[in-house]
Amino acid sequence: MSGLIIGTLALASVWDIKTQRVPNLISLVLFVIAIFALVVQPEPVSVKALLAAILVTLAITLPGYIKGRLGGADIKLLLALALLSSFEQMLWLLITAFVLFIIYWWVFYRDKEHAPFVPALFVAVCLQTFIV
Protein backbone atom coordinates (compact mmCIF):
# COMPACT_ATOMS: atom_id res chain seq x y z
CA MET A 1 0.00 0.00 0.00
CA SER A 2 2.85 2.40 0.80
CA GLY A 3 4.17 1.90 -2.73
CA LEU A 4 0.89 3.22 -4.19
CA ILE A 5 0.96 6.21 -1.85
CA ILE A 6 4.58 7.03 -2.64
CA GLY A 7 3.98 6.55 -6.37
CA THR A 8 0.97 8.86 -6.27
CA LEU A 9 2.94 11.48 -4.34
CA ALA A 10 5.84 11.16 -6.79
CA LEU A 11 3.48 11.87 -9.67
CA ALA A 12 1.97 14.81 -7.77
CA SER A 13 5.46 16.14 -7.07
CA VAL A 14 6.45 16.13 -10.71
CA TRP A 15 3.20 17.81 -11.64
CA ASP A 16 3.64 20.42 -8.90
CA ILE A 17 7.22 21.20 -9.97
CA LYS A 18 6.27 21.56 -13.63
CA THR A 19 2.99 23.46 -13.33
CA GLN A 20 2.65 24.62 -9.68
CA ARG A 21 -0.67 22.76 -9.71
CA VAL A 22 -1.76 19.23 -8.86
CA PRO A 23 -4.82 17.84 -10.67
CA ASN A 24 -7.78 16.94 -8.49
CA LEU A 25 -7.64 13.44 -9.94
CA ILE A 26 -4.30 12.81 -8.20
CA SER A 27 -5.73 13.99 -4.87
CA LEU A 28 -8.77 11.79 -5.44
CA VAL A 29 -6.58 8.76 -6.14
CA LEU A 30 -4.73 9.33 -2.87
CA PHE A 31 -8.05 9.65 -0.99
CA VAL A 32 -9.31 6.40 -2.55
CA ILE A 33 -6.08 4.61 -1.57
CA ALA A 34 -6.40 5.96 1.98
CA ILE A 35 -10.04 4.93 2.33
CA PHE A 36 -9.29 1.50 0.88
CA ALA A 37 -6.44 1.12 3.38
CA LEU A 38 -8.78 2.05 6.23
CA VAL A 39 -11.36 -0.52 5.10
CA VAL A 40 -8.95 -3.44 4.65
CA GLN A 41 -6.86 -2.69 7.74
CA PRO A 42 -6.93 -5.72 10.07
CA GLU A 43 -7.25 -3.60 13.23
CA PRO A 44 -10.13 -1.17 13.69
CA VAL A 45 -9.16 2.46 13.41
CA SER A 46 -9.78 4.72 16.36
CA VAL A 47 -12.11 7.51 15.29
CA LYS A 48 -10.53 9.71 17.96
CA ALA A 49 -7.03 9.17 16.52
CA LEU A 50 -8.30 9.75 12.99
CA LEU A 51 -10.02 13.00 13.97
CA ALA A 52 -6.92 14.15 15.86
CA ALA A 53 -4.75 13.62 12.77
CA ILE A 54 -7.25 15.50 10.58
CA LEU A 55 -7.60 18.35 13.07
CA VAL A 56 -3.84 18.85 13.49
CA THR A 57 -3.52 18.90 9.70
CA LEU A 58 -6.25 21.52 9.35
CA ALA A 59 -4.95 23.60 12.27
CA ILE A 60 -1.48 23.80 10.77
CA THR A 61 -2.37 24.15 7.09
CA LEU A 62 -5.53 26.26 6.92
CA PRO A 63 -3.79 29.48 8.02
CA GLY A 64 -1.26 28.96 5.23
CA TYR A 65 -4.05 28.39 2.74
CA ILE A 66 -5.94 31.48 3.89
CA LYS A 67 -2.78 33.59 3.54
CA GLY A 68 -2.10 32.12 0.09
CA ARG A 69 1.06 30.27 1.15
CA LEU A 70 -0.33 26.76 0.62
CA GLY A 71 -2.44 25.56 -2.26
CA GLY A 72 -5.64 23.57 -2.12
CA ALA A 73 -3.91 20.49 -3.49
CA ASP A 74 -1.35 20.60 -0.68
CA ILE A 75 -4.12 20.48 1.90
CA LYS A 76 -6.08 17.78 0.05
CA LEU A 77 -3.01 15.55 -0.15
CA LEU A 78 -2.21 16.15 3.52
CA LEU A 79 -5.78 15.34 4.53
CA ALA A 80 -5.63 12.09 2.57
CA LEU A 81 -2.41 11.22 4.40
CA ALA A 82 -4.07 12.13 7.71
CA LEU A 83 -6.53 9.29 7.09
CA LEU A 84 -3.57 6.93 7.30
CA SER A 85 -1.82 8.47 10.29
CA SER A 86 -2.08 8.89 14.00
CA PHE A 87 -1.86 12.34 15.56
CA GLU A 88 1.84 11.89 16.33
CA GLN A 89 2.68 10.52 12.88
CA MET A 90 0.84 13.36 11.19
CA LEU A 91 2.45 15.99 13.39
CA TRP A 92 5.91 14.64 12.60
CA LEU A 93 5.05 14.38 8.91
CA LEU A 94 3.95 18.02 8.87
CA ILE A 95 7.04 19.20 10.75
CA THR A 96 9.35 17.19 8.50
CA ALA A 97 7.61 18.36 5.32
CA PHE A 98 7.76 22.02 6.36
CA VAL A 99 11.43 21.82 7.37
CA LEU A 100 12.26 20.13 4.06
CA PHE A 101 10.20 22.74 2.22
CA ILE A 102 12.13 25.57 3.85
CA ILE A 103 15.43 23.98 2.80
CA TYR A 104 14.08 23.23 -0.68
CA TRP A 105 12.75 26.76 -1.05
CA TRP A 106 16.04 28.27 0.14
CA VAL A 107 18.10 26.28 -2.34
CA PHE A 108 15.86 26.46 -5.44
CA TYR A 109 13.14 29.11 -5.11
CA ARG A 110 14.19 31.89 -2.74
CA ASP A 111 14.06 34.50 -5.52
CA LYS A 112 10.50 33.51 -6.44
CA GLU A 113 7.21 34.22 -4.74
CA HIS A 114 5.88 30.63 -4.84
CA ALA A 115 7.46 27.20 -4.63
CA PRO A 116 5.96 23.72 -4.96
CA PHE A 117 5.26 22.09 -1.59
CA VAL A 118 4.41 18.57 -2.73
CA PRO A 119 8.04 17.52 -3.40
CA ALA A 120 8.86 18.24 0.25
CA LEU A 121 5.79 16.26 1.29
CA PHE A 122 6.87 13.38 -0.96
CA VAL A 123 10.34 13.25 0.62
CA ALA A 124 8.86 13.51 4.13
CA VAL A 125 6.54 10.56 3.44
CA CYS A 126 9.47 8.55 2.05
CA LEU A 127 11.55 9.32 5.15
CA GLN A 128 8.68 8.40 7.45
CA THR A 129 7.99 5.19 5.53
CA PHE A 130 11.53 3.91 5.15
CA ILE A 131 13.33 5.30 8.20
CA VAL A 132 10.80 5.55 11.02
- Write down the pTM of the prediction: 0.90
**Higher per-residue pLDDT: 11 or 89:** 11
pLDDT of residue 45 exceeding 80 = no
Q: What is the structure's pLDDT at 63?
A: 92
Q: What is the structure's pLDDT at 14?
A: 95
Residues 14, 8: Cα–Cα separation, whole Å = 10
Q: What is the structure's pLDDT at 111?
A: 82
Q: pLDDT tens digits, residue range 100-127?
A: 999 989 998 888 878 899 999 999 999 9
Residues 26, 125: Cα–Cα separation, whole Å = 16
